[in-house]
Amino acid sequence: MKRRALISVTNKHKLEGFAKRLSSLGFEIVSTGGTLKFLLEKEINATPIEKITGFKEMIGGRVKTLHPKIHSAILFDRENKEHEGEIIAEGVTPIDIVVCNLYPFEKTISGNSNLDDAMENIDIGGVTLLRAAAKNYKYVTVIVDPQDYDNVIYELSKNENTTYDTRAKLCVKAFSHTADYDATIDSHLSKILANNKKLRLSFISGNDLRYGENWHQKACYFKKETMEPSASNMKQLHGKKLSYNNYLDIEAALNTAKELSNCSAAVIVKHLNPCGVATGSTLFNALKNAWDGDRVSSYGSIIALTRKVDLKAASFLKGKFVEVIVAPSFDPDALEFLKNKSKDIRIMETGELFTSEEKIYKFLTGGVIEQDRPKGLYEKWECVTKNRFPDNKKELGLFTIIVTKYTKSNSIVLGMEYEKGHFKVLGNGVGQPNRVDSLRKLAIPKIYENLENMWNEENTNIDKDVFFKEKISECVLVSDAFLPFDDTVRVAAENNIKYIIQSGGSIRDKEVIATSDCFGISMVFTGMRYFNH
């Protein structure tokens, strides 16, 4: 019997070379419509499908491949004698390879298409071909992705057929392709025709974790296909398997690091909160100043860095226990140092940091929330107090806003400029039911603890209280939302804080502004809230 391949594709990437190789291997190519025209223009022999079926393409090309002589050629069981007898009796030549990808429905609906355009781009014959070929994968090779052409040609050249394992993998790929295609159609038409907005998400490569959030919970991590650097696509260079908590903390650290990726920066995260964040003239300086932001919490932390890790930066971690280090890349000597530091430390390489995902999701019992990614740092920059907010404090303010965006609400963050053009978190208070406790009970004690370390290590002759007041007076405080009362301002004033950034929008804004004026505090309204739950 002749060996026959059916090719009917929308995406013609790499098709010319693939079809020529198939012909050279002795396959008769059967094709349809635009694909047939493409092949003949490339001087590749191809048989029109109507020559096989005895019927021309009908009703504007809507019916081309839906015919018993096509589907029996694909579906018959090569080991079933009854099937074989029917095939011979009807003069049907088996089809051993089906190459098909579908009408661009998703691309169509992403533009300014109307319902008629959408319906016209729902593929019928192509889906049927793929499902038939995939169902009979034991004998038929089905290809939906041009990236698989080369491997198929290699196996055909070597063995005159593809391997069972390859056909099995291509079978699953075909069913995944049609499932995603149908899901897109369902979501679009449900919204348009049934007024029922649907969300269908697809995750792959499920990987069992050692345990979940706690030891008695089972857990599995599923990946979403994305180009953006994330826990899904980074490369593990060393260490134990990642745990449930590692994945969550890596996400938190990377979110902050991506917003600081235009400079050398270090982000240290513990239990989803940045406990130390700093930029620096070098990665070493950034890492040292981030660590100094909370030396206690940095123990057992996850660290995300925005630049290639060199040996000096890696050496800073000598004697320090860290669970995970995430960075775009590592110098060979730095990587060797970190590997020798601990057999368990997870070393993760992301490549260049950037953002591309437009939506984020929060899964709840029985549901999921989809929302826009929290882009931007302010909608306005309005100084609302008598004391002006100095221009030379804006960059520090923006750094502190970035950190605030990724701390758990209610949150207060104080940032300082520790050297010209480089910033660090001096203290923060996170996750409290009220914002004044975030400042008074958490951020303020941490600020004084860190200033005590700085005063001792700088060996300065300045009186300690004077040193503290001077340093704090140059910091910027950012609140993740508006201040509903003036109590936070009063606590700030008691501790010599002079600059506050908040969203504004409270019914007591005037009272808050008046209190700020009373204490000589400069306050900026951004019009943007930074809740993070």
pLDDT, tens digit, for every residue of 183-202? Answer: 999 999 999 999 999 988 88
Count CA within 13 A, CB hemisphere, residue 246. Answer: 25
pLDDT tens for each residue of 4-50 = 999 999 899 999 999 999 999 999 999 988 899 999 999 999 999 88
Q: pTM value?
A: 0.86
| Least confidently predicted of 164-168, 183-187, 284-288, 301-305 | 183-187
| Both structure tokens of 409 | 């609400």
Q: Report the topology of domain 234-349.
A: Cytidine Deaminase; domain 2 (3.40.140)
Residue 237: pLDDT over 90: yes
Task: Compute the average pLDDT of residues 364-388.
Answer: 94
Amino acid letter, 31:
S
Q: Report the pLDDT averaged over residues 255-278.
A: 96
pLDDT at 311 over 90: yes
Mean confidence (pLDDT) of the chain: 93
First to last CA, the chain: 65
Tens-place pLDDT, residues 109-161: 887 778 888 888 888 888 999 999 999 999 999 999 999 999 999 999 999 89
**Residue partners of 394: CB distance under 8 A and separation at least 6:** 381
* DSSP label at residue 459: T
Percent of residues, the chain, with pLDDT higher than 90: 79
Domains 234-349 and 377-525 share a fold: yes
DSSP structural state of residue 408: P
* pLDDT recorded at residue 1: 56
- Report the alpha-carbon distance of residue 149 to residue 67 in Å, rounded: 26
Q: Across residues 343-354, what is the average pLDDT?
A: 95
Q: Token pair of 338, please?
A: 């970190």
Ramachandran assignment for 258, one of left (phi > 0), alpha (psi -120 to 50 degrees), beta (any other)? alpha
Higher pLDDT, 124 or 399: 399
Using CB atoms within 10 A of its CB, is residue 197 exposed (0-12), middle (13-18) or buried (19+)?
exposed
- Taking the mean position of all CA atoms in its chain, how far away is CA 363? 16
How far apart are the C-alpha atoms of 124 and 64, rounded to whole Å?
10
Q: Which residue has the tokens 């070597």?
A: 158
**Burial classification of residue 205, based on how many CB atoms lie within 10 Å of its CB (0-12 exposed, 13-18 middle, 19 or more buried):** exposed
pLDDT number for residue 135: 97
Q: Rounded mean pLDDT of 509-524?
A: 97
Average pLDDT over residues 281-300: 96
Domain boundaries, the chain: 3-193, 234-349, 377-525
Could you tell me the two tokens for 418? 């520790």
Residue 466 CB-density burial (10 A; 0-12 exposed, 13-18 middle, 19+ buried): exposed
Host H or E run for residue 179: helix 164-193
Q: Does domain 377-525 have CATH number 1.10.10.10?
A: no
E strand or H helix at 382: strand 382-383
Select 3-193's CATH number: 3.50.50.60, 1.10.10.10, 3.40.1080.10, 3.40.50.1380. Answer: 3.40.50.1380
Of 282, 284, 227, 278, give the one whose Cα is nearest residue 257: 278
Tens-place pLDDT, residues 419-463: 999 999 999 999 999 999 999 999 999 999 999 999 999 878 899
What residues are annotated to the active site? 135, 271
